Structure 1
Amino acid sequence: MAAGIAISWAAEATARGRLGMNPFVGIRVGYVTHSPEAWLAGHRSARWPTHAAAGIIAACGILILALNVSDETASRITIGGSLAVFAMVLFAAKKATRAAELVVVQNADQQS
């Protein structure tokens, strides 16, 4: 659950520009790391899928703790949640890359 909260905080901080480019937190794919503007655009675009991934992580933790499930059921919840989080992270990375690429291309066109 704590991981979900931390990821959600990071998604908001990067999307709002409170947490700029850094070596520890954020999406680092494609054009996202090209410039501070691309970083911000990418993280704004990836905001909701990143929050969704964080929510899935938190929900899995809550389900496992609240329902006091067997180890087998907990494993199934964890595996299913992990697959869903993986899909959301890939989707977030794709959205971030596309948004950042647009910023990089627009900036290059303006400089030409």
Structure 2
Amino acid sequence: MLADLVLLPVLLAAGLVLVWCARAAADGRLGRNQVAGIRTAATLASDEAWRAAHRRARPLSEGAGWVLAAAGPVLLLVPGDSLSAVVAGAAALIALGLTVAGAVVGSRAARATAPRG
């Protein structure tokens, strides 16, 4: 139970930060930087590429955040630390998969903005 009380705010906060970053980068409030967002050569090439990448990746990135945020309160509903670890681990793996998928589609969108030639 103590582990749940530690994991709940961590998962909730991490998830909400991820949702905020996804939204802020997609709508232009979070510009190119070296800390948050999809940081590849293609996405950092221009402001246009950055925005295109994050607009395309937004549903997946937000989904990752919501998975983490939802997992926190679920921990209070499951009995035992072992099952809590399974819930937290599953949420982390799902969020990781969504984040990687978002980075892939975002990078493709960023590359599509590059001038041809």
Gaps of 5+ in 2: 1-11
Pick the aligned partner of 2:91 from 66, 81, 88. 81
Q: How does 1:1-112 map to 2 (within 5 A)?
A: 1-65=12-76, 67=77, 69-104=79-114, 108-109=115-116
How many residue pairs get aligned? The number is 106
1:45 partner letter: R
TM-score w.r.t. the length of structure 1 is: 0.89
d(CA) in 1 for partners of 2:13, 2:80: 22
1:31-77 Cα offsets, whole Å, 9 max, x none, are 11111110000000000000100011011111003x15310010000
CA RMSD between the two structures:
1.2
Residue 29 of structure 1 and its aligned partner are, at CA, apart by: 2.3
Question: Hey, which bits of structure 1, 4+ residues long, moved more than 6 A?
Answer: none
Identify, as 1 or 2, the structure richer in helix. Answer: 1
Match of 2:5 in 1: none
